[in-house]
Structure 1
């Protein structure tokens, strides 16, 4: 039976693990926070399930602990060399650069090279929104998706994301893979022994499959056919080709390649709303827009129309109150690392009678 953990306790546990693994406390907190936020939002494929591979790559020397990141900046444009640090740490530095330059120049473009898997884009979007900025974030990923009409993986499920601040409504947060689903969801399905829809992926021979393990040996499919394929290519061009990071088959798989660093690339574009109108006016207009969308007539069987990010925000509220449920396999992985670093996971279990804020 899966057990639940209080989100703060689980975040503290993961922070301690990353500290024991050699990260400075502030860096360990960033990595753990990015994972927990994914779980809170219901994106379990990018949550603490990634702790095992993160720590395994760190232990194998595939991720640098404290190398100095290099910045080349010219006005609103900056290029960040992540020097193979943890992706969430590199992404946080890039976000700081984008926020600073957006406030100074009204718009910014920050490219990133030599990074690693950085979790969900939403983690960074939520922070940008707090500064009343619109933020667009993309990242490339290792090859898991074939070119349209192909069989074998060549491009990643490269995510595209946008965050927009609001007034009284939960913020607009669109964070999506350019595949039908993220590969992480298939990984989770394989761990749970669950079937997947036959529209998600093909096996290594190019045949549609409902077997998650066969799908992981094959390729995930682009959303919307040619549209998702083209969008994924564009993200690879911006995040990889333009920045000097890996692209296509040169973004290395963190689960399979233990000889080379990932060299993931990201791209951040910031827009200062105040350069267009007073922020209060914008928030009133965006709230009106959302209110009118949500009041539109609903199709049969539909109870509510949602804005991107709204469902995830409700997951956050629910899981903060009732805890984060971990699959047994993930708990076992976390327990194993706790034993290795002398951190007892049982100290972080949610007691059934407790309700948390």
Structure 2
């Protein structure tokens, strides 16, 4: 008589209300030394990414940020130095957590508009900024057009390369729209964000072979090998050219050389180029609103259900944590005496 072992159920994901997870995240960040205000800003940025479908830049990054805060690679209590350099704001982030430094930088640029048509800012010595759309959306909700580009450590290269050649250098733009949420364009110059590879490595999933190359310069489906190799650029040479554009604006103009630090993973000491523009001071609000409405309506009529305007979807009210991320966060909660909230387990 044979006996079969019972089949273990698959590990369960955990679904939590976004607000609950945001408050818990704020509590964890406060416990590693952030001020209440900075912890709130950073938690809002992380959970906003999850709510908008950018899980690679959301709560999955929390453990890495906590590690860097504990190691001293990220300063939990930065004192930003903001100076006017021939009309350009020069901002030293004092190695602070990018999620808080980024908000303070975009807010400084908005406050320095003060009747001007545009304000450029250059940010240096900041932690990884995460999803750039979070910052430019903030400016668009204030009625301004905003552009933000961040230089990263070298993690991208074309096929055949035997080492990372350049950062995947994300760039984002947001514009206000009269009929609803802002238009928000947020992309990196690699085919996909490297966070997708980190997430695949942590969940034990293979990656598509057009995402990255391994150490031998050939495409790989192994996320561990991809992390030792390099990300592939979007659009081949066009993605590389766009990365070089960001390298000039956010790297060469700030003198920044980001690196992955002792802990590896997310970049530290990053630089960024930012620009906020007040349409009222250029074409006038009515003309701007009319023009953007005209071309977006034409676009939507042409593409129909095959396309969308980025950034205009409603953020989700619930966040689902894969089992590996749920366990990682539960361990964080146990370490800092703040248990991860319970929610709905999805098998």
Q: Do the structures match in fold with TM over 0.5?
A: yes
Instruction: State how far apart, in whole Å, the 2-side matches of 1:115 and 1:74 are.
Output: 19
Tell me which of 285, 305, 308 is aligned to 1:306.
308
Structure 1 residue 253 corresponds to structure 2 residue 255: no
Q: Displacement, 1:74? A: 3.7
Q: Displacement, 1:134? A: 0.5
Tell me which of 133, 143, 161 is aligned to 1:150.
161
Q: Displacement, 1:185? A: 1.0
Q: Secondary structure at the match of 1:155?
A: coil
Give the equivalent residue in structure 1 for 2:292: 286
Q: Secondary structure at the match of 1:83?
A: strand
Give the equivalent residue in structure 1 for 2:282: 276
Instruction: State how far apart, in whole Å, the 2-side matches of 1:223 and 1:64 are.
Output: 33
Contact 1:6–1:349 (CA under 8 A) maintained in structure 2: no
Q: Displacement, 1:149? A: 5.7
Structure 1 residue 108 corresponds to structure 2 residue 141: no
Change (3 A) 1:182 1:342: same
Higher strand share: 2
Contact 2:160–2:218 (CA under 8 A) maintained in structure 1: no
The aligned runs of 1:72-151 (5 Å cut-off) are 72-74=83-85, 76-146=87-157, 150-151=161-162
Structure 1 residue 69 corresponds to structure 2 residue 80: yes
Give the equivalent residue in structure 2 for 1:205: 216
Instruction: State how far apart, in whole Å, the 2-side matches of 1:107 and 1:115 are.
Output: 23
Contact 1:190–1:212 (CA under 8 A) maintained in structure 2: yes
Q: Displacement, 1:148? A: 7.4
Q: Displacement, 1:75? A: 5.7
The aligned runs of 1:297-336 (5 Å cut-off) are 303-310=305-312, 313-314=313-314, 316=315, 319-320=316-317, 323-336=318-331
Give the equivalent residue in structure 2 for 1:349: 342
Instruction: State how far apart, in whole Å, the 1-side matches of 2:190 and 2:242 are.
Output: 10
Instruction: State how far apart, in whole Å, the 1-side matches of 2:104 and 2:159 are.
Output: 35
- Count of residue pairs brought into register by the alignment: 333
Structure 1 residue 44 corresponds to structure 2 residue 55: yes
Gaps of at least 5 residues in structure 1 are 353-357
Gaps of at least 5 residues in structure 2 are 1-11
Q: Secondary structure at the match of 1:72?
A: strand
Contact 1:169–1:287 (CA under 8 A) maintained in structure 2: no
RMSD: 1.9
Q: Deviations over 1:5-24 (max 9, x none)?
A: 10000000000001111111
Instruction: State how far apart, in whole Å, the 2-side matches of 1:49 and 1:226 are.
Output: 31
Instruction: State how far apart, in whole Å, the 2-side matches of 1:47 and 1:163 are.
Output: 20
Instruction: State how far apart, in whole Å, the 2-side matches of 1:296 and 1:203 are.
Output: 40
Instruction: State how far apart, in whole Å, the 2-side matches of 1:340 and 1:351 are.
Output: 23
